[in-house]
């Protein structure tokens, strides 16, 4: 790789090129015909799992932040019995939507997990109480099954005095039944030593949290499984997010093909990047055939089954936005990953691992002289591309307090890439992320 060729123009160009694929993916998903199903066509949940100390048995697949009343109703009718939300989702609209839907269901049969966010510390006990009461009002319910600290970025927040004293009172009043923590990893600008596993293991050690929500998938298996094992030993309930990192494969493949068709003149850095990608892609495709996997969809299903097959991962959250997704995902309930599918995922990891930043990792952060939150930016890009939550991703990217990659990465040697133990092509991915998410900023 010739770093000297990595000028600002090239940096943005690398992003423009790879961003093309994500636009394609978005269009194809938006253009997808959404069929209206009757209830009998939607698969039923096949497996329920003991949910730590909560006394609940939860569906192995659950509702992430819901965005559509009809879809949420269909999920509940199909046996999904856990809904994840948070005051920050849609400025409370997620909780309002849930409130409207659960009125028609038996409240005691549904586990509602909500969250309160703070950047560094909760201002006061009273504020936490007030915000929890507002959550309950929006949810039109007397209690939440679990209230979590949203996106804990360091271990200090786990001991927050205002949060815990408020929760002690709210538990006595019957308004909150369990406490929990969600975590994507650290905000390294504040503390480079914190990581997803460190924060989650500290939450278990603390002893006051009954439900942990973490990013876990076959790409970050080492980090996730360390936490899940500890949860198992301590009878802590677990919820999984970001379970499917298979998205960059198709996006980049589409772009490589397009470049070849257009016979575009491209710069040296970009050419080198894509040549490398194409070789790996071609190798991977050969291997996939051996495992009976021919389409990206099959790989994505295998990724979901990888998580579903781990009994310590009690329920996997999915942000269902339409009936097609409901049908596609719910049919995986109760399924286990096959040996062939496992081999296909290993091959994907081996060949395409450099295109996926491991959620929860922060191993390269201390190497960056500009304090760019690499993991956070690439997670926002995951929202943009894989979850198709473009507005949310763009808003989060705009709120970053750090410099943006385009301001500094073009003149940097790429210390993050050298420090990454997984060999992730960080600068190209950051360029893609910047191009995706700066659209409206
Ligand atoms: S290329 Fe990597 S190390 Fe350099 S400024 Fe950008 S994020 Fe930081
Ligand atoms: S680029 Fe590599 S080291 Fe940096 S956060 Fe991602 S996976 Fe970890």
In this structure, what token pair is assigned to residue 227?
């936490």
For ligand 2, atom 8, name the residue with the nearest CA.
Answer: 361
Give 288-334 pLDDT, tens digit per residue.
Answer: 666 666 666 788 899 999 999 999 999 999 999 899 889 999 999 99
Q: How many CB atoms lie within 10 A of CB 419?
A: 15
Q: 368 C-alpha to center of ligand 1: Å?
A: 5
* Average of per-residue pLDDT across 133-153: 97
For the chain, domains (ranges, CATH) are 3-31+247-296+338-437 (no CATH), 39-241 (3.20.20.100)
Verify whether ligand 2 is closer than 6 Å to residue 367 (CB atom): no
For ligand 2, atom 4, name the residue with the nearest CA.
Answer: 364
Query: How many whole angstroms separate alpha carbon 21 and alpha carbon 27?
Result: 10
Question: Residue-wise over 255-286: b if at least 16 C-beta within 10 A, else e?
Answer: bbeebeeeeeebbebbeebbeebbebbeebee
Verify whether ligand 1 is closer than 6 Å to residue 373 (CB atom): no
Q: What is the DSSP letter of 52?
A: G
Q: Higher model confidence: residue 367 or residue 360? A: 367
Site to probe by mutation for ligand 2, drawn from 186, 368, 426, 428 as the one with most ligand atoms within 8 Å of Cβ, is 426
pTM of the complete model: 0.77
Contact yes or no for 236/210 (Cβ under 8 A)? yes
> Among all ligands shown, which has an atom nearest to the Cα of 405?
1
CA-closest candidate to residue 114, choices 63, 72, 161: 63
Can you give the pLDDT at residue 20? Answer: 34
Q: Relative to the CA of 408, which ligand 1 atom is closest? A: 5
Per DSSP, the three-state class of 423 is: coil
**Lowest-pLDDT choice from 37-46, 315-324, 407-416, 432-441:** 432-441
Contacts of 413 (CB under 8 A, 6+ apart): 3
Verify whether ligand 2 is closer than 6 Å to residue 368 (CB atom): no
For ligand 1, atom 6, name the residue with the nearest CA.
Answer: 409
Q: 423 C-alpha to center of ligand 1: Å?
A: 14
Verify whether ligand 1 is closer than 6 Å to residue 368 (CB atom): yes
CA torsion 19-24-25-27 (nearest 10°) is 130
Give 147-198 pLDDT, tens digit per residue.
Answer: 999 999 889 999 999 999 999 999 999 999 999 999 987 665 556 667 889 9
> What confidence category does residue 434 fall into, taking pLDDT thresholds of 50, 70 and 90?
confident
> What confidence category does residue 141 fall into, taking pLDDT thresholds of 50, 70 and 90?
very high
Q: Is 320 exposed, middle or buried (0-12, 13-18, 19+ CB in 10 A)?
A: buried
Query: How many whole angstroms separate alpha carbon 352 and alpha carbon 281?
Result: 7
CA-closest candidate to residue 418, choices 350, 361, 363, 351: 363
Contact yes or no for 77/110 (Cβ under 8 A)? no
Per DSSP, the three-state class of 138 is: helix
> What confidence category does residue 75 fall into, taking pLDDT thresholds of 50, 70 and 90?
very high
Q: What angle do CA 363, 366, 369 make, to 5 degrees?
A: 135
For ligand 1, atom 2, name the residue with the nearest CA.
Answer: 416
Q: How many CB atoms lie within 10 A of CB 34?
A: 12
């Amino acid at each position: 790789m010739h770093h000297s060729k990595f000028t600002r123009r090239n940096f943005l160009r690398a992003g423009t090129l790879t961003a093309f694929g994500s636009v394609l993916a978005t269009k194809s998903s938006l253009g997808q015909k959404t069929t209206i199903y009757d209830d009998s066509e939607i698969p039923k949940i096949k497996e329920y799992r003991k949910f730590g100390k909560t006394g609940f048995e939860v569906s192995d697949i659950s509702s992430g932040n819901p965005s559509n009343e009809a879809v949420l109703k269909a999920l509940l009718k199909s046996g999904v019995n856990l809904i994840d939300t948070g005051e920050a989702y849609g400025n409370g609209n997620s909780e309002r939507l849930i409130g409207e839907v659960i009125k028609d269901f038996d409240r005691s049969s549904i586990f509602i997990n909500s969250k309160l966010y703070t950047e560094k510390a909760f201002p006061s006990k009273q504020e936490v109480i007030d915000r929890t009461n507002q959550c309950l009002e929006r949810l039109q319910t007397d209690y939440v099954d679990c209230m979590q600290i949203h996106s804990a970025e360091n271990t200090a927040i786990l001991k927050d005095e205002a949060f815990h004293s408020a929760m002690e009172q709210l538990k006595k009043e019957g308004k909150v039944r369990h406490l929990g923590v969600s975590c994507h990893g650290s905000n390294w600008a504040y503390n480079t030593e914190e990581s997803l596993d460190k924060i989650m293991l500290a939450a278990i050690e603390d002893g006051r949290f009954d439900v942990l929500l973490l990013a876990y998938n076959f790409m970050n298996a080492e980090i996730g499984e360390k936490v899940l094992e500890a949860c198992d030993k301590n009878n802590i309930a677990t919820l999984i997010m970001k379970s499917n990192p298979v998205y960059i494969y198709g996006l980049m493949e589409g772009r490589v093909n397009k470049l070849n068709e257009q016979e575009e003149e491209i710069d040296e850095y970009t050419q080198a990047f894509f040549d490398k990608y194409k070789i790996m892609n071609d190798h991977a495709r050969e291997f996939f055939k051996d495992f009976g996997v021919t389409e990206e969809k099959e790989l994505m299903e295998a990724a979901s089954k990888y998580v579903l097959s781990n009994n310590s991962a009690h329920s996997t959250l999915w942000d269902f936005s339409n009936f097609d997704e409901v049908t596609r995902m719910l049919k995986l309930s109760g399924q286990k990953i096959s040996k062939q599918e496992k081999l296909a995922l290993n091959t994907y990891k081996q060949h395409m691992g450099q295109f996926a930043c491991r959620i929860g990792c922060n191993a390269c952060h201390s190497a960056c002289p500009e304090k760019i939150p690499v993991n956070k930016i690439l997670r926002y890009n995951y929202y943009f591309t894989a979850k198709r939550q473009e507005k949310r991703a763009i808003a989060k990217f705009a709120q970053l307090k750090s410099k943006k990659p385009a301001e500094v990465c073009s003149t940097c040697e790429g210390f993050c890439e050298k420090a990454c133990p997984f060999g992730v092509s960080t600068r190209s991915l950051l360029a893609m992320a910047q191009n995706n998410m700066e659209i409206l900023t």
